[in-house]
A and B are shown apart, each in its own frame.
Chain A
């Protein structure tokens, strides 16, 4: 099976612009979670989508949004980019969602640089 893919892998944007990142999960996986990784804050949960519904959202401003399509592919969008949004954005897919925890499979990440 192909792994989780993310596009683009690298991106440079200017403050004030918006950006859309894409994540294709492993075939059959219906849950996609997004994470932000920065040197200062480490890895932080952004949101999770399951069956096209946002199941949970981390502590991020409304500029960060996402969606999931019927084929489980997911996109996240960041509007009005700030310098602090420069980070590695990772998505992870899993077969299911739930309260007991499931194994997650991570994509290679998209490295976003905001200038």
Chain B
């Protein structure tokens, strides 16, 4: 079993829809990252959180430490949101990021 599980693996939505991507992890963590990767490979860090909720524009990230679960929400999705979204956890004991396999999001106009 992978230490970081994401779901769904693939997601197709219509423009304007509300989107949720889930991430579950099985190890103790210091922080959880949500990353966005566009075709071509460049990765952008969207959020780093260790508790509660963060919001940036149309993006919202939440984490429940007790349940070892995080969600990334995109409100009013747009075709430019099409990308791979990756969840990564940082373990203080391991001192490294462990990544989920990513969610390929396609938003259709």
Task: Point out residues on A near B: beta carbons under 8 Å.
Answer: 33, 35, 37, 42-45, 48, 55-56, 58, 88, 90, 92, 97, 99-106, 108-109, 111
Q: Which residue of A lies closest to B40 (CB)?
A: A108
- With a CB–CB cut-off of 8 A, which chain A residues contact B99? 42-44
Q: Once the chains bind, are A48 and B30 in contact (CB under 8 Å)?
A: no
| Inter-subunit contact A111/B41 (CB<8 Å) | yes
Q: A99-B93, A105-B45 are in contact. List 19 more A-B contacts (CB 8 A).
A: A42-B101, A42-B102, A43-B86, A43-B97, A44-B99, A48-B95, A55-B95, A56-B94, A56-B95, A58-B96, A97-B95, A101-B30, A101-B92, A104-B33, A104-B97, A106-B42, A106-B43, A109-B43, A111-B41
Q: Is the CB of A100 within 8 A of B31?
A: yes
Residue of A nearest to B47 (CB): A103
Interface: B27 (CB within 8 A): no
Is chain A's binding surface mostly helix, strand, loop or mixed? Answer: strand
Closest 4 CB pairs of A and B: A101-B31, A99-B92, A101-B90, A106-B43
- Give the total of B residues in contact with A, Cβ under 8 Å: 27
Name B88's contact: one of A43, A55, A100, A102 (CB within 8 Å): A43
For A42, the chain B residues whose CB sits under 8 A away are 99-102
CA–CA, A92 to B90, complex, Å?
14
* Bound-state Cα–Cα, A109 to B43, Å: 9
